Amino acid sequence: MSTSTYRTAVVRIPAGPDSIEIIDVPIVEPGPGDVRVAIAAAAVNPVDLGVAGGVFHDMGLLHQPEWTGLGWDFAGTVVAAGQNVGLAVGTRVAGLVDGFDRDFGTYAEQLVVPAADVAVVPDGLDLIAASTVPLNGLAAAQIVDLLGDAPTDGNRLLVTGAAGAVGGYLVALAQDRGWQVTGLARPQDEQFVRGLGADFTAQAEPGWDAVADGAAMQEQAIGLVRDGGTFVGVRPNAGPASDRGITVAAVVAHPEGPRLRELLDRTASGELPARVHAVVPLDQVADAHRAMANGGVRGRYVLTPKA
């Protein structure tokens, strides 16, 4: 039976997991170019812990008058389409909602998004696994854009946090552009990193042609770049200063529907990792946040709005 409201997780006054509330909000119909998606799965990402903890409020990036929506990643099924949309009702899709300052998010039963921002989930990939791909797969692909093609005379790339979500994709995708990748990760992650075709280190020495900082080590990671090398970080609002002729950039992950489709296809084929740590009902979102905050989790917690 259809209802006129749906459930979504928000924070009013951010103070960590205990400040997350599940509220009912009115269903919105999709405008031209938009789709309404019944969400089946929403991955929990580090950025969500930051939003719930007030990190981005404190940075002045959030100004919602009543509440802030949580969640960037989603996978689900199209339930309504606006004008000029080529996606039929019932199509399985995944996508990324970007930007901090919004009163809605993907920790919800429903979402209205531009059809251009979503990608069809290929057969053979379930929606739980698909929901773990958009934010971190696109972030990694867009970091590789910032790195560009590897110069033949300087192609040694260190990926920090190589066993993490962004780092794992980076290790795989950077090799497409000619980088000779070494992954910096914990000793217990060696097999995973090597399995992606990279070299492994648990203790990196300085002197890399480029560093892609999936562990958000910032100044410590820039210290590993050789003079005149390249650093690409994951903290656009807190990037370390350029030093020793080093080119410094930071990614701002953004939706790219066609590119997400490629990432989903490569996940379905097993070429890219699909890593789910646990599936948790939306009602237990605070528990998932608490568990993530302890660190050491490999693969994502995935929230499901339906029990």
Ligand X SMILES: NC(=O)c1ccc[n+]([C@@H]2O[C@H](COP(=O)([O-])OP(=O)(O)OC[C@H]3O[C@@H](n4cnc5c(N)ncnc54)[C@H](OP(=O)(O)O)[C@@H]3O)[C@@H](O)[C@H]2O)c1
**What are the Cα distances from residue 106, in Å, to 70, 98, 304?**
6, 10, 10
Q: Is 272 in the site for ligand X (CB under 6 A)?
A: no
Q: 78 φ, ψ to 5°?
A: -65, 125
Element (H, E) at 261: helix 257-268
Which among 13-21, 100-108, 144-152, 250-258 is the span making contact with ligand X, rule CB under 6 A? 250-258
Which among 22-30, 31-39, 161-169, 282-290 is the span making contact with ligand X, rule CB under 6 A? 161-169
Q: Is 161 in the site for ligand X (CB under 6 A)?
A: yes
Among 37, 111, 118, 165, binds ligand X (CB under 6 A): 165
Q: 62 φ, ψ to 5°?
A: -130, 130
Q: Which is nearer to ligand X, 164 or 305 (CB)?
A: 164
Among 32, 178, 206, 236, binds ligand X (CB under 6 A): 236
C-beta of 169: minimal distance to ligand X in Å? 8
With left for phi above 0 and alpha for psi between -120 and 50, is residue 122 left, alpha or beta? beta
C-beta of 78: minimal distance to ligand X in Å? 25
C-beta of 303: minimal distance to ligand X in Å? 15
Q: Is 240 in the site for ligand X (CB under 6 A)?
A: no
Torsion over CA of 48, 190, 197 and 268, rounded to 10 degrees?
Answer: -50
CB 159 within 8 A of CB 196: no
CB 249 within 8 A of CB 221: no
Which among 89-97, 102-110, 162-170, 278-286 is the span making contact with ligand X, rule CB under 6 A? 162-170
Among 30, 137, 164, 240, binds ligand X (CB under 6 A): 164
Residues 122-151 that bind ligand X (CB under 6 A): 135-136, 139
Among 80, 216, 280, 293, binds ligand X (CB under 6 A): 216
**What are the Cα distances from residue 302, in Å, to 7, 107, 212?**
16, 10, 26
Read off the amino acid at residue 267.
Answer: T
Q: Is 174 in the site for ligand X (CB under 6 A)?
A: no
Task: Say how far apart CA 51 and CA 202 lie, in whole Å.
Answer: 30
Which among 149-157, 193-201, 210-218, 281-289 is the span making contact with ligand X, rule CB under 6 A? 210-218
C-beta of 254: minimal distance to ligand X in Å? 8
Q: Which is nearer to ligand X, 86 or 296 (CB)?
A: 296
> DSSP labels for 150-177?
PPTT--EEEEETTTSHHHHHHHHHHHHT
The closest alpha carbon to 258, from 95, 87, 71, 74, belongs to 95
Among 40, 111, 198, 234, binds ligand X (CB under 6 A): 234
Binding site for ligand X (CB under 6 A): 45-47, 135-136, 139, 161, 163-167, 184-186, 214-217, 234, 236, 251-253, 295-296
